[in-house]
Amino acid sequence: MATEQFLEVNGAQLAYFTKGEGPLVITLHGGRGFGSKTGDFRVYSKLADYGYKVVSFDFRGHGHSSFTPPFTFAQIVDDIEAVREHFVGKEGKVIIIGGSFGGFLAQQYAITYPSTLSYLVLRGTAASHHHESDAFEVLRERLPHYPCVSLDMLKKVFGRFESDLEMQLVMFALGPLYSESYNPNVGLTTCLNTVYRAQSHNDLYAESEKFFDYRDKLPLLQTPTLVIVGEKDWICPPSQSKIICSLIPNSKLVVVPKANHSVHQEKPQHVIAEILSFISSK
């Protein structure tokens, strides 16, 4: 893993990894209040071997970045823009790769700063908050296989946690749902090493943030967009990726068989190959 560095952006200290030289790629992690750059960088840093500069950073209030409010979609999107400008200047282009919550932010970034993008890659995400009802339906079907999981836990994920500890315990219980090749020992180690911030999670699920909906703006995007989703994704099912592709004019959908929400970590070579093929063919 690369050496962790820090960048001051809009009053916050953002922790980041970087590797390679060439066109800029910024990756946006998932997990409101508990996600981090590490898993994405482990996969997407492979793009550096093909002539790209990859930057993965922890959002404010996440991972090793400073706990600096406000925790809002708009603030994080402005942070992304500041990171882009830091690395390539005002006129430089960027490839954005966003997954899950990072995919929500990637879409908002593309809508807010369309002239800065060369390509957009969306992994296991959705165009609106309506994916939550789909996730509940999938979970109801799978509950018999996960005795330590409840619908009330998912309500907390889409709502509010009472403490960092409650958040940690709930996310550990839900862990097996995210991967078709879940390893409980690895899951425990990951859980213990993850930073959980209930406040940043709760703020990003506040009423002003929770009900995001990009569906009316996506048809205006001109950026070539690759949408990748695992066939078994439970929290942002493939139906949501199909909606995105039906709305963005210049888009391509890739559904990866036998993969779940963490498709980039389950099938890294497949995902990297799809990205390289897409951004080199346009």
Band of the pLDDT at 76, cuts 50, 70, 90? Answer: very high
Q: Which residues sit opposite 19 in a β-bridge?
A: 54
Q: Which domain holds residue 162?
A: 137-200
Kindly provide the b/e burial profile for residues 267-279, where b requires at least 16 CB atoms within 10 angstroms of the residue's own CB. Answer: beebbbebbbebb
**CA distance linking residue 278 with residue 251, whole number of Å:** 10
Burial class from Cβ neighbours inside 10 Å (0-12, 13-18, 19+) for residue 165 reads: exposed
Q: Are residues 119 and 222 in the same domain?
A: yes
Model confidence pTM above 0.95: yes
3-state secondary structure of 178: helix
Percentage above 70 pLDDT, the chain: 100
Residue 205 covered by a domain: no
Q: Are residues 145 and 127 in the same domain?
A: no
Residue 60 covered by a domain: yes
Q: Are residues 161 and 123 in the same domain?
A: no
Q: What is the CA radius of gyration of the chain?
A: 17
140, pLDDT greater than 80: yes
pLDDT at 282: 56
Count CB neighbours of 216 within 10 A: 11
The 10s digit of each residue's pLDDT in 249-258 is: 999 999 999 9
Percentage above 90 pLDDT, the chain: 98
φ/ψ (deg, to 5) at 16: -145, 160
Residue 207 covered by a domain: no
